Structure 1
Amino acid sequence: MANYIQEIRSLVGHRPIILNAAGAILVNNKKEVLLNLRTDTHNWSLPGGFLEYGETFAQACVREYKEDAGLDVEIIEPIGIFDQGFTMYPNGDETQVISRLYLVKQVGGHELSEATNETLDLKYFPFDQLPPLLNQQTADMLEAGKKYFENHK
């Protein structure tokens, strides 16, 4: 069921809702993490997004990476679940997002894509030099990614 969230929003307006999302940590050979500059909030987040009806977290992760970054990825392993992602979007929508975070590797789409309807820019950042982030959940996920690499050297 495509555009599931749009359908829900048409019924509930801007009322707070709980949504499920998937995102991933992709690092380059310098152990820098890929982030995307969002068109809706003009700050940075991990490529990823909301599940469509009937989709698994893993399927959403792979689909969203292709949509946000133009990259084909393969899931290596799950890193964690994050359930304290509260966001108020510029259009007035309120959400609590439950996110599944994965570690992924790139398997196709050799160039980072140009801007899309959800992404203004894509860039790799060191874990200790991050730009302004979407929300606390994004910061928490990046901290989990940083710890993952500190423990898996």
Structure 2
Amino acid sequence: MANYIKEIRALVGHKPIFLNCAGGILLNDQQQVLLNLRTDTHNWSLPGGYLEYGESFAEACVREYKEDSGIDVKVVAPIGLFDRGETVYPNGDVTQTIAELFLVEAVGGHQLEQATDETLKLAYFDLDNLPPLLNQQTADMLAATAEYLKDHTTHF
């Protein structure tokens, strides 16, 4: 996918573009959410990322979650579709992402213990006590997660 985005950027420069992405909400026993500290923007976001051509939102969520966290997940339920807001990256690229958010469950793998090219570190946070986030869309996703959890009595 990185090559696809690079190809598009070579054509349009830093001009705003739409990109599709997927992210996951993984909760621990204390109902805290796992976030990753990003290498590009040095703020926190949900593990997830851009769809590869031909991939579904759910497939991208599973793949990207593994890449960003080291954890194998399965999709449990959709939380919502988020299509508002933009992200301005340090290199000047601007995107409006259309993001599908899923509640996920860990099914294998191990949480990364060292930095990668996308993730500096991982940590769990209370939904009402979050660190500096990537963008408003991430904040909206976490607020929607809190509402989702209020409406669903099953704890994951």
**What displacement does 1:111 show?**
3.2
Give the number of equivalent residue pairs: 153
Structure 2 gap segments, 5+ residues each:
none
Establish whether residue 150 from structure 1 lines up as the match of residue 150 from structure 2.
yes
Deviation at 1:103, TM superposition (A): 0.3
- The residue number in structure 2 matching 1:104 is 104
Query: CA separation in 1, counterparts of 2:128 and 2:83?
Result: 23
Structural mapping, 1:31-42, within 5 Å: 31-42=31-42
Moved more, 4-13 or 40-49: 4-13
Question: Does residue 86 of structure 1 match 2:86?
Answer: yes
Query: How many angstroms apart in 2 are the aligned matches of 1:113 and 1:104?
Result: 20
TM-score normalized by structure 1?
0.96
User: Which residue identity lines up with residue 102 of structure 2 in the other structure?
Assistant: Y
Counterparts of 1:41-120 in structure 2, within 5 Å, are 41-120=41-120
**Cα displacement string for residues 3-40 of structure 1 (whole angstroms, at most 9, x for unaligned residues):** 32122112211111000000011000100000000000
Deviation per residue, 1:52-82 (Å, 9 max, x gap): 1111111110010010000100000111000
Q: RMSD between aligned alpha carbons?
A: 1.2
Q: Residue type matched to 1:128 in 2?
A: D
Q: Distance in 2 between matches of 1:57 and 1:116?
A: 23
Q: Quick one: distance in 1 between partners of 2:113 and 2:18?
A: 30
Gaps spanning 5+ residues in structure 1: where?
none
Whole-Å Cα distance in 1 between the matches of residues 95 and 46 of structure 2? 17
Partner SS, residue 84 of structure 1: coil
Determine the C-alpha separation between the residues in 2 that align with 1:2 and 1:131.
27
1:63 alignment partner, SS class: helix
TM-score by length of 2: 0.94
AA aligned opposite 1:19: L
Shift of 1:113: 4.3
Counterparts in 2 of 1:133 and 1:54: CA distance versus 1, 3 Å = same
SS at match of 2:5: helix
Contact 1:71 1:113 in 2 (8 A): no
The answer (yes or no) to whether the contact 1:79–1:102 under 8 Å persists in 2 is yes
